Homo-oligomer: A and B are copies of this chain.
Amino acid sequence: MERGQQPDSRPGRRPTLADVAAAAGVSRALASIVMRGAEGAGEATRERVLETARQLGYRPDSRARLLRSRRTRLLGITFTVSEPFHGEIVESIYAAAEAAGFEVLLSAVGARRPEGRAVETLLDAGVEAALMISPSSGEADLAALARQVPVISLLSAAAPGIDAVRSDDAAGIRAAVQHLASLGHRDIAHVDGGDAVASAERRAAYEGSMREAGLGECIRILRGGAHEADGIAAAGELLAGRPPTAVVAFNDRCALGILEAAWRAGLTVPDDLSVVGYDDSQLARLDHVRLTSVSQDAAGLAEAAVACAAARLRSEEPVGLVLQPALVVRSTTGPAPEIPPR
């Protein structure tokens, strides 16, 4: 009677709502009402049912629950396991989704697991909407997908029929350039993202804001990429000739590569060289890095994306949402050297 481990009816099986109802001496329907906190149950009965449920160790079977109630309240997420910034967004999405009453289903994209497959898993599980972080699929595929389920693209530009939540890259880059210019820098170079998605836009923003600052003649763009190695390679080229006094990198990982190359070359940051990253990822915040970076505000993006999904499920039209990034100044930027080094 007092054991509370095994339901007497079926040995060794996880207890069901029927078990709880039987044990508490009520109908399944009433037990259901109590379990989901709906109204229509007496106070005394409610407590009795909750107590028996606790004793039996009952946990509602989410598959059965979702099957019956049309609204699954499930949000699917595709993300790339090897991208640290994706991880940060995922964590924020959990929080935002929970607050909005959604469950979250993750599906990883990786070298051996293409995005298409990741999305299919989500559809099979019955998600109500799919949040895709930096989707790599083509526009046609995304459009086809969007016909089956609301799709919210995170960090990428909008496509027809799908929501897009991203931050204003141009504004972010402009903030970086202006910050450096206000510190007296003139030779501000840019290591771009190569073939990465947002690379072209950030490159253009760099050129634009250099001209705005009256530094059109100092524009210097090097081909980089999204990873540390790309930063290293570009920095090698950069430091070989007449090095600039500051560099705006495509993202944090690229910036980290530049920092490493600078350290190896014996330069002091930020005395000899200022470096700005992009993403404000954990990497940037690490104690030994303290990288000045443009913050994409993972939490804000996540909340906006979840809000978007909720709006779409209330059958509103797709929107493109653009958040304003903020520059976070840390220890890798400082005043321009009085006399150019070397």
Contacts and interface: CB of A to CB of B under 8 A. Distances in A.
Interface of A: 14, 57, 59-64, 66-67, 72, 81-82, 84, 87-88, 90-91, 94-95, 103, 105-108, 110-113, 120-121, 123-126, 148, 227-229, 232, 257, 260, 263-264, 266, 282, 286-289
Given A82-B84, A260-B260, A263-B264, A62 B108 contact: no
Given A263-B263, A288-B232, A113 B126 contact: no
Contacts of A263: 260, 263-264
Nearest to A13: B70
Nearest to A264: B263
Nearest to A283: B228
Contacts of A84: 82, 84
A62 B126 contact: yes
Nearest to A70: B13
12 contacts: A81-B88, A81-B91, A91-B108, A94-B108, A94-B110, A94-B112, A94-B113, A105-B105, A227-B286, A232-B287, A263-B263, A266-B266
Contacts of A264: 263
